[in-house]
């Protein structure tokens, strides 16, 4: 949808972008048309879209033959979506859920959880994510079954999620994503293709599940230890870890981790080897 058309649509419904919800709408029609193809969307795929806004991407996903579940927090835009996609809501190709996609304790909205659990085939995730929820949303993906994800994020978040550029930059999120997915950045987008224009550049993050991904119980155990380890990321790790998680401290030391190492310098392969030691002890 072009900017002029989007402005007219919002004006007709008495709406405007709300900074509180991180609403920066993609207004490049050619790019919008490419996203379902880049995401690998096929006819009949189940797709989760977060923050559909005025429905520009929703329209393209439906046109590609996807069955879309879209989660929108803004009640005004939800009203617009219900009017714009009345036919798709009636035939079941689109489901709208009102509320915050982020649930408590690493969960998602309860209606999304129920939908996900009932699927015969895992969904794809395709969204122009509100910047404020990028990290928490990504943190809810390891341990879940998906066909793939194509997510438009702030460029810095996409780059870090795809893997750090130096050994000092590993984070709990990048480590967990590394175990679960093949992650790579895609197109980089300047502020000019959005309305309102953000102050930063954006980029697509593409995730493909790994066959070697951790089992759910292992992922949960790793997440707990990483949360503790990175709680004081500038301090050396093994001494602190030994008091709270002695088996993990012993396992990391057995893998050759320097007693003076900080958590961000420990590569994913070492964390995985330590996890295997802990689980076999």
pLDDT in tens, 70-83: 999 999 999 999 99
Which of the listed residues 160, 175, 209 is the one where a domain comes to its end?
209
H or E stretch at 126:
strand 124-128
In this predicted structure, the answer to whether residue 166 has a pLDDT above a threshold of 60 is: no
* Distance from chain centroid for Cα 184: 13
Same domain, 72 and 150: yes
Residue 167 scores a pLDDT above 80: no
Of 209, 229, 254, the position where a domain reaches its end is 209
Q: Are residues 48 and 94 in the same domain?
A: yes
Last residue of a domain, one of 177, 209, 241: 209
**Measured in Å, how far apart are the chain's first and last C-alpha atoms?**
57
Q: Can you tell me which residue has the tokens 């309102």? A: 196
Question: Exposed/middle/buried for 211, CB within 10 Å: 0-12, 13-18, 19+?
Answer: exposed
Same domain as 134, residue 251 = no
Which helix (DSSP H) or strand (DSSP E) does residue 195 occupy? strand 194-195
Q: pLDDT averaged over the chain?
A: 95
Residue 156 has a CB neighbour count (10 Å cut-off) of 13
Instruction: Mark whether 251 and 185 lie in a shared domain.
Output: no
Residue 270 has pLDDT above 80, yes or no: yes
For residue 180, the tally of other CB atoms under 10 A from its CB is: 21
Whether 68 and 122 share a structural domain:
yes
Residues 77 and 99 in one domain: yes
pLDDT tens for each residue of 8-33: 999 999 999 998 888 999 999 999 99
Question: What distance in Å separates the CA atoms of residue 157 and residue 176, rounded to the nearest whole number?
Answer: 14
User: Could you tell me the two tokens for 211?
Assistant: 């066959």
Do 24 and 95 fall into the same domain?
Answer: yes
Q: Where residue 222 sits, what CATH number does that domain have?
A: 1.10.8.100
Q: Is there a single domain that holds both residue 58 and residue 149?
A: yes
Give the total number of structural domains in the chain.
2
In a shared domain, residues 175 and 261: no
Q: Is residue 165 located within the same domain as residue 246?
A: no
Question: How does pLDDT run across 97-130, given as a tens digit for each residue?
Answer: 999 999 999 999 999 999 999 999 999 999 999 9
3-state secondary structure of 72: strand
Confidence check: pLDDT of 189 > 80: yes
The percentage of residues in the chain with a pLDDT greater than 70, rounded to a whole number, is 98
Q: Which domain holds residue 229?
A: 216-280
- For 41-65, the pLDDT digits (tens) are 999 999 999 999 999 999 999 999 9
Alpha helices in 68-165 (DSSP H): 75-84, 86-91, 110-117, 134-139, 155-161
- Is residue 43 domain-shared with residue 158, that is, in the same domain? yes
Residue 165 has pLDDT above 70, yes or no: no
3-state secondary structure of 40: coil
User: Are 22 and 154 in a shared domain?
Assistant: yes
CATH number of 124's domain: 3.40.50.150
């Amino acid at each position: 949808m072009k900017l002029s058309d989007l402005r007219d649509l919002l004006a007709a419904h008495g709406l405007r972008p709300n900074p509180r919800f991180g609403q920066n709408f993609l207004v490049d029609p050619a790019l919008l048309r490419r996203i379902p193809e880049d995401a690998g969307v096929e006819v009949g795929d189940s797709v989760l879209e977060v923050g559909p806004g005025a429905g520009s991407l929703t329209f393209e996903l439906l046109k590609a033959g996807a069955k879309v579940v879209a989660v929108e927090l803004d009640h005004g835009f939800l009203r617009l979506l219900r009017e714009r996609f009345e036919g798709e809501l009636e035939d079941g190709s689109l489901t709208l859920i009102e509320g915050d996609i982020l649930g408590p304790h690493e969960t998602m909205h309860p209606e999304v959880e129920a939908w996900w659990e009932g699927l015969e085939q895992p969904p794809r995730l395709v969204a122009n994510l509100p910047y404020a929820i990028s990290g928490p949303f990504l943190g809810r993906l390891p341990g879940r079954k998906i066909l793939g994800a194509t997510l438009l994020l702030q460029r810095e978040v996409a780059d870090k999620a795809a893997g750090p550029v130096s050994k000092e930059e590993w984070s709990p999120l990048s480590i967990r994503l590394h175990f679960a997915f093949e992650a790579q950045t895609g197109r980089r987008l300047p502020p000019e293709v959005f309305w309102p224009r953000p102050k930063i550049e954006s980029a697509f993050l593409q995730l493909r599940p790994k066959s070697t991904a951790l089992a759910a119980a292992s992922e949960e155990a790793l997440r707990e230890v990483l949360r503790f380890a990175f709680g004081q990321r500038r301090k050396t790790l093994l001494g602190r870890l030994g008091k709270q998680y002695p088996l993990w401290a012993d396992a990391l030391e057995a893998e050759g981790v320097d007693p003076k190492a900080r958590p961000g310098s420990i590569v994913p392969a070492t964390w995985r080897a330590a996890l295997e030691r802990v689980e076999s002890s």
